[in-house]
């Protein structure tokens, strides 16, 4: 029987040679395809055969040795041939399929699984097991809490509390979405898939490659959570996994939040805020409640678009993977076996040893199949692993790697699983079968893009790197000049930054690299400028500060010249400023770095001041404007003007001033009007009213820290403001009068010669008017002229002009007399000699002292 099996293997071999490793179906003829299918079926038969041979093994040891020899040959041939199954990535092949195969932190895995279990009541209809009281745990924690202040819960405690919390009124967990965040390559997506599958869901994934406009998002979410796929789901409920959610547009995330916020009728009754239901009426949100769990995955949890989501989500941070675990896994991958971690160590020799292991595996797997929904306590093997026979065969002799080299690889990629496995496959594909430390050091590793914030850049510049053990992932013999060409052309990978940090030259190059790859040079420099004085300076003469300031000036000059003349090649020199700062200021003590705001403040203040000056200059009277240029005004005159404008004024009514004081006030008002300054009342935020100069040029020439001169009181400013208003009105009227009539001066009424005998009611018009009267009359006439329309002749109903018949002469004779009388009265009234001025109030209590001698 065994001979027959052996003979059947030859066509299998032929097929592979002919195919030359091409997957392309057209390159392989149909007959060979059929043969491949047949061969796979044969493999299965083989396995069962080996189970039998297991029992015969002990009896026929010499035959087993023969098999080994025979199988050794095809094994070598297989190795020599180009592998036909290199069409799939090792990352996908060796992806963990089961909970126990996960590489990430146990606590994280458990938390996510627990959270997913919270959905059981809704999705599977299974009740939550009652929480067992744990007195032992409390006792243990009691001792701990004495030391830790109970105010600050550790993150683990927070998570535990969240998981232990009660469910919603609609029996869903409080956090309806889980957010996994961490650096790339840790296995977040894999974790989500594995755990969802483990808990009995079928996974629906939405990726960065999908269309993520809000409509498509909504459609996808609703499809995933409310519908089941027709094919292949096998009756399992859906679990939606949204990958790379930090790249989704904000509108799409808002759609997700809306779906999360939908409340059911039970929630409404419990008094959710803002739910517009009247008592008793059911409010169905359109689309219905969210009844399936959603897992979101992101790299950077501090993206602004995720802010709202973070508050509502079950947040899980991914700690980095332990190097030891990663090394082990890589070893397993390289050797192409299953998980040596928990089982016996299997030698990498021929087929002979496969059968007992296979038997063990299949029996174990049959008894320990994970039932959906049950907690997996300790599966030893993934049985599916061993069904992929042909692949394992081909990769069996994958890579020989010693643990040292693998550890170096892990370090180089910073424990990024995907990068490690990709590197291994890459090297394997290039024909390398042995992995050495040297190879690891000189190879370039591709990593997923990552964002590093400005704060990390500043931290690297200002902090001396701690002396670490020699990192053997980096090539120590690489000359510094290789590092210099850090454009990505020749540098040994993105981890060039972690060069051995002992020499200043290498530190310099590291900072150069960091600074060059930080996109916002302006912000970096501003941050340096704002924070560099907070560091502990080692140099007591402040020479370093001077050098730093010189560098800043140089940087300004560079950017100016580069942008002015479009000579952008000068921008190549910009990263040297952070490097210089590092060499000047880096210390092991890390100060608090504040986000730079000084430039913005200075800019806003400058613009405000310039606006003030501009306003002031625009309002100055022309006579003065000719002598006051803005520059001269600000530098020389303004400060002194403000002193002139604050004389000592008595806080009494202006009526009580002496002439000198009145003159002083008048000159002050004149000055202020000349510079178009005034005081305006303003209300402070705390309710007080103050008078402020407008435009407030005190800001221009008074330093806020210095004590101001004694300011004017509120009353004085009020007084001055009032006087200024009055003077303005007077001047405006004077201007208007000048504009209206030919008369220039308007003297006081009593100054001119009075009319004689104005009391006589004579029809003669007075020969000489006082100018005021003349002006008044003329003004009145002018107003009447402006206002009066043309006299329209009267028209009757039909529009015919009505002509008035002349009044009878008698009436006409009488009429002029009365007219004259009326006119005379009118004139008398308007021209009387005596004026009466009414005064309100009573004057009963006027007393006068009358001595007797006046009476005598």
Partner 1 sequence: MVQIVISSAGAGGLAEWVLMELQGEIEARYSTGLAGNLLGDLHYTTEGIPVLIVGHHILYGKIIHLEKPFAVLVKHTPGEQDCDELGCKTGTQYLVTALIKNKILFKTRPKPIITNVPKKV
CB-nearer residue toward partner 1: 488 or 754: 754
CB-nearer residue toward partner 1: 249 or 759: 759
CB-nearer residue toward partner 1: 537 or 758: 758
- To the nearest whole angstrom, how small is the minimum distance from the Cβ of residue 758 to partner 1? 8
CB-nearer residue toward partner 1: 30 or 838: 838
| DSSP-assigned beta bridge partners for residue 180 | 297, 316
Task: Compute the distance between CA of residue 500 and CA of residue 467 in angstroms, rounded to an integer.
Answer: 9
CB-nearer residue toward partner 1: 453 or 826: 826
- To the nearest whole angstrom, how small is the minimum distance from the Cβ of residue 680 to partner 1? 37
Task: Compute the distance between CA of residue 15 and CA of residue 12 in angstroms, rounded to an integer.
Answer: 5
Short-list 116, 355, 352, 147, CA closest to 237 = 116
Short-list 17, 28, 46, 318, CA closest to 180 = 318
**SS3 state of residue 434:** strand
In angstroms, the Cα distances linking 77 to 393, 394, 433, 497 are 12, 11, 15, 44
- To the nearest whole angstrom, how small is the minimum distance from the Cβ of residue 634 to partner 1? 53
Return all residues near 727 (Cβ < 8 A) that are at least 6 apart.
669, 670, 673
**Going by DSSP bridges, is the β-strand pair 238-242/689-694 parallel, antiparallel, or unpaired?**
unpaired
CB-nearer residue toward partner 1: 58 or 792: 792
- To the nearest whole angstrom, how small is the minimum distance from the Cβ of residue 833 to partner 1? 4
- To the nearest whole angstrom, how small is the minimum distance from the Cβ of residue 844 to partner 1? 11
CB-nearer residue toward partner 1: 286 or 791: 791
Task: Give ∠ CA 456-458-461 in degrees, rounded to 5.
Answer: 110
CB-nearer residue toward partner 1: 705 or 791: 791
CB-nearer residue toward partner 1: 732 or 776: 776
- What single string gives the DSSP state of each residue in 60-101? -HHHHHHHHHHHHHHHHHHHHSPPTTTTS-HHHHT---SGGG
- To the nearest whole angstrom, how small is the minimum distance from the Cβ of residue 750 to partner 1? 5
Short-list 476, 486, 481, 488, CA closest to 447 = 488
Helices (H), 262-353: 265-269, 307-312, 323-335
- To the nearest whole angstrom, how small is the minimum distance from the Cβ of residue 754 to partner 1? 4
**SS3 state of residue 297:** strand
Short-list 511, 507, 500, CA closest to 469 = 500
CB contact at 8 A, 184 and 220 = no
Task: Give ∠ CA 437-439-441 in degrees, rounded to 5.
Answer: 70
Sign (positive/negative) of CA torsion 310, 313, 314, 319? negative
- To the nearest whole angstrom, how small is the minimum distance from the Cβ of residue 819 to partner 1? 12
- To the nearest whole angstrom, how small is the minimum distance from the Cβ of residue 779 to partner 1? 13
Task: Compute the distance between CA of residue 494 and CA of residue 457 in angstroms, rounded to an integer.
Answer: 15
- To the nearest whole angstrom, how small is the minimum distance from the Cβ of residue 714 to partner 1? 36
- To the nearest whole angstrom, how small is the minimum distance from the Cβ of residue 828 to partner 1? 8
How many other C-beta atoms can be found within 10 angstroms of the C-beta atom of residue 105? 21
- Which structure tokens are listed for 478? 């690489």
CB-nearer residue toward partner 1: 324 or 832: 832
**SS3 state of residue 704:** coil
Task: Compute the distance between CA of residue 145 and CA of residue 635 in angstroms, rounded to an integer.
Answer: 66
Residue 693 is inside which H or E element, if any? strand 689-694
Q: Which residues contact partner 1 by CB under 8 A?
A: 749-750, 754-755, 758-759, 784, 787-789, 791, 822, 825-826, 829-830, 832-839, 842-843, 852, 855-856
CB contact at 8 A, 422 and 446 = yes
- To the nearest whole angstrom, how small is the minimum distance from the Cβ of residue 842 to partner 1? 8
CB-nearer residue toward partner 1: 307 or 782: 782
CB-nearer residue toward partner 1: 4 or 829: 829
Phi, psi (degrees; rounded to nearest 5) at 238: -85, 145
- To the nearest whole angstrom, how small is the minimum distance from the Cβ of residue 732 to partner 1? 26
Short-list 420, 427, 485, 473, CA closest to 448 = 420
Task: Compute the distance between CA of residue 823 and CA of residue 829 in angstroms, rounded to an integer.
Answer: 10
- To the nearest whole angstrom, how small is the minimum distance from the Cβ of residue 786 to partner 1? 10
CB-nearer residue toward partner 1: 59 or 850: 850
CB contact at 8 A, 746 and 783 = no
CB-nearer residue toward partner 1: 622 or 750: 750
């Amino acid at each position: 029987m065994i001979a027959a099996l052996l003979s059947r293997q030859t066509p299998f071999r032929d097929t592979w040679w002919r195919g030359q490793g091409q997957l392309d179906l057209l390159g392989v003829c149909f007959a060979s395809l059929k043969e491949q299918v047949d061969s796979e079926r044969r493999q299965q038969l083989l396995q069962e055969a080996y189970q039998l041979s297991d029992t015969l093994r002990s009896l026929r040891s010499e035959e087993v040795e023969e098999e080994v020899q025979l199988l050794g040959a095809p094994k070598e041939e297989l190795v020599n041939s180009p592998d036909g199954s290199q069409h799939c990535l090792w990352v996908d092949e060796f992806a963990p399929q089961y909970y126990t195969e996960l590489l990430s932190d146990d606590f994280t895995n458990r938390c996510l699984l627990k959270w997913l279990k919270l959905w059981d009541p809704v999705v599977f209809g299974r009740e939550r097991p009652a929480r067992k009281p744990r007195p032992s745990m409390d006792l243990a924690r009691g001792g701990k809490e004495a030391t830790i202040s109970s105010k600050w819960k550790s993150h683990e405690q927070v998570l535990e509390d969240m998981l232990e919390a009660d469910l919603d009124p609609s029996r869903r967990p409080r956090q309806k979405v889980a957010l996994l965040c961490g650096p790339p390559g840790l296995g977040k997506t894999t974790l989500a898939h594995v755990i969802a599958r483990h808990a009995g869901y079928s996974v629906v994934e939405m990726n960065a490659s999908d269309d993520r406009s809000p409509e498509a998002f909504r459609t996808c979410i609703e499809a995933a959570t409310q519908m089941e796929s027709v094919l292949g789901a096998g009756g399992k409920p859906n679990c939606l996994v949204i990958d790379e959610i930090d790249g989704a547009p904000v509108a799409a995330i808002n759609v997700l939040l809306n779906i999360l916020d939908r409340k059911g009728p039970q929630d409404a009754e419990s008094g959710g805020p803002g739910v517009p239901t009247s008592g008793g009426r059911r409010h169905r949100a359109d689309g219905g409640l969210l009844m399936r769990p959603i897992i979101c995955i992101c790299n950077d949890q501090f993206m602004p678009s995720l802010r709202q989501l973070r508050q509502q989500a079950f947040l899980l941070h991914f700690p980095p993977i332990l190097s030891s675990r990663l090394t082990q896994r890589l070893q397993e991958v390289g050797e192409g076996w299953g998980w040596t971690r928990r089982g016996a160590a299997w030698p990498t020799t021929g087929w002979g040893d496969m059968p007992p292991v296979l038997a063990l595996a299949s029996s174990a797997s049959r008894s320990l199949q994970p039932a959906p929904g049950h907690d997996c306590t300790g599966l030893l093997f993934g049985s599916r692993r061993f069904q992929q026979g042909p692949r394992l065969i081909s990769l069996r002799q994958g890579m020989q790697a010693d643990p040292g080299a693998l550890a170096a690889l892990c370090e180089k990629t910073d424990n990024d699983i995907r990068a490690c496995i990709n590197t291994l496959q890459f090297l394997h594909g290039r024909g390398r079968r042995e992995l050495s430390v040297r190879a690891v050091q000189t190879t370039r590793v591709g990593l997923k893009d990552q964002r590093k914030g400005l704060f990390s850049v500043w931290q690297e510049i200002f902090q001396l790197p701690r002396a670490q053990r020699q990192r053997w992932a980096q090539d120590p013999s690489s000359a510094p000049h290789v590092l210099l060409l850090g454009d990505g052309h020749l540098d040994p990978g993105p981890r060039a930054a972690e060069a051995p940090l002992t020499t200043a030259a290498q530190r310099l190059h590291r900072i150069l690299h960091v600074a060059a790859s930080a996109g916002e040079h302006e912000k970096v420099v501003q941050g340096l400028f704002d924070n560099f004085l907070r560091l502990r300076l080692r140099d007591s003469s402040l020479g370093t500060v001077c050098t730093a300031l010189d560098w800043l000036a140089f940087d300004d000059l560079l950017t100016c010249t580069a942008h002015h003349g479009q000579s952008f090649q000068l921008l190549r020199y910009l990263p040297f400023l952070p490097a210089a700062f590092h060499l000047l200021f880096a210390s092991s003590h890390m100060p608090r770095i504040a986000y730079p705001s000084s430039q913005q403040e200075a800019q806003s203040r400058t613009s405000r001041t310039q606006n003030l000056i501009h306003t002031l200059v625009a309002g100055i009277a022309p006579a003065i404007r000719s002598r006051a240029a803005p520059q001269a005004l600000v530098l020389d005159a303004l400060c002194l003007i403000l002193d002139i404008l604050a004389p000592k004024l008595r806080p009494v009514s202006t009526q009580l001033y002496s002439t000198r004081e009145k003159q002083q006030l008048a000159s002050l008002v004149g000055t202020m009007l000349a510079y178009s300054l005034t005081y305006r009342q303003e209300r402070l935020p705390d309710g007080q009213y103050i008078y402020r100069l407008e435009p407030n040029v005190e800001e221009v020439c008074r330093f806020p820290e210095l004590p101001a001169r004694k300011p004017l009181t509120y009353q004085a400013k009020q007084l001055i403001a009032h006087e200024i208003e009055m003077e303005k009105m007077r001047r405006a009227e004077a201007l208007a009068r000048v504009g209206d009539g030919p008369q220039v001066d308007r003297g006081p009424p009593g100054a001119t010669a009075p009319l004689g005998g104005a009391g006589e009611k004579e029809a003669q018009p007075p020969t000489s008017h006082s100018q005021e009267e003349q002006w008044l009359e003329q003004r009145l006439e002018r107003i009447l002229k402006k206002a009066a329309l043309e006299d329209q002749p009267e028209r009757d109903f039909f529009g015919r002009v009505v002509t008035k018949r002349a009044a009878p002469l008698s009436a006409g004779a009488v009429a002029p007399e009365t007219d004259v009388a009326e006119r005379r009265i009118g004139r008398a009234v308007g021209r009387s000699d005596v004026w009466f001025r009414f005064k309100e109030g009573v004057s009963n209590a006027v007393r006068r002292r009358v001595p007797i001698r006046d009476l005598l």
